[in-house]
């Protein structure tokens, strides 16, 4: 191959830009959140929310399309437990929208569904982890990714692939 051709070939190859630590962490965090969400939805299969209907009966939504994984304690303010599977609940798109549209109603539904004890337990878990918790390191995120990947496999064999 002539030198010209070699250069031409080299020039066509995508340039590998070295990722910054920040970018690696951002990508790993997104990947872990994707796995976390898939684990939650694979486990729950349908909308878990319970609410009171207009006759005063407690009903569960059980919608099984347009499902999303909801953080019981939000990931922005409770990052230490953002990948904890106990901190997730499957909710349909219709009701997840209430989180912004009517936060008080949404919060009541979460408490009705999960119970205040569960939320307290998550807060305690967060407090324990938070001691010394700053931000996840790349090693932390790689470990979490491996854990969630294995967990997803297990959930898929127990409940089926979504």
Structure tokens at 162: 């979504």
Binding string to Zn ion for residues 64 to 83, with x set by CB under 5 A, is what?
Answer: --------------------
- Nearest approach in angstroms of CB 7 to Zn ion is 59
Asked if 92 is part of the footprint of Zn ion (rule: CB under 5 A), the reply reads yes
Q: Which of 4, 25, 2 is nearest to 137 (CA)?
A: 25
Which CB sits closer to Zn ion, 80 or 109? 109
Q: By CB under 5 A, is residue 48 in contact with Zn ion?
A: no
63 touches Zn ion (CB under 5 A): yes
- SS3 of 106-139: HHHHHHHHHCHHHHHHHHHHHHHHHCCCCCCCHH
Stretch that binds Zn ion, among 17-25, 28-36, 46-54, 121-129 (CB under 5 A): 46-54
At its nearest, how many Å lie between Zn ion and the CB of residue 95? 4
Q: How far is CA 39 from CA 62, 69, 78, 138, in A?
A: 18, 9, 19, 21
User: What is the three-class DSSP state of 10?
Assistant: helix
**Closer to Zn ion at the Cβ: 61 or 69?**
61
> Can residue 110 be called a binding residue for Zn ion (CB under 5 A)?
no
Alpha-carbon distance of 5 to 122, in angstroms, equals: 61
Q: Is 47 in the site for Zn ion (CB under 5 A)?
A: yes
Q: Which is nearer to Zn ion, 63 or 99 (CB)?
A: 63
Q: Which run of H or E residues covers position 69?
A: strand 67-71
- Which spans of this chain sit near Zn ion (rule: CB under 5 A)? 47, 49, 61, 63, 92, 95
């Amino acid at each position: 191959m002539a030198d010209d051709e070699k250069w031409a070939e080299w020039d066509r190859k995508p340039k590998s830009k070295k990722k910054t630590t920040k970018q690696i962490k951002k990508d790993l965090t997104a990947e872990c959140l994707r796995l976390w969400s898939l684990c939650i939805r694979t486990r729950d299969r349908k909308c878990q929310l319970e609410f009171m209907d207009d006759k005063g009966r407690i009903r569960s939504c059980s919608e099984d399309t347009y499902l999303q994984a909801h953080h019981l304690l939000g990931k922005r303010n409770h990052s230490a437990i953002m990948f904890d599977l106990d901190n997730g609940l499957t909710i349909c798109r219709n009701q997840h929208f209430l989180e912004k549209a009517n936060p008080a109603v949404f919060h009541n539904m979460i408490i009705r569904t999960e119970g205040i004890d569960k939320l307290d337990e998550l807060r305690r878990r967060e407090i324990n982890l938070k001691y010394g918790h700053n931000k996840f390191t790349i090693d932390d995120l790689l470990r979490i990714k491996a854990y969630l990947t294995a967990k997803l496999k297990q959930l898929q064999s127990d409940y089926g692939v979504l």
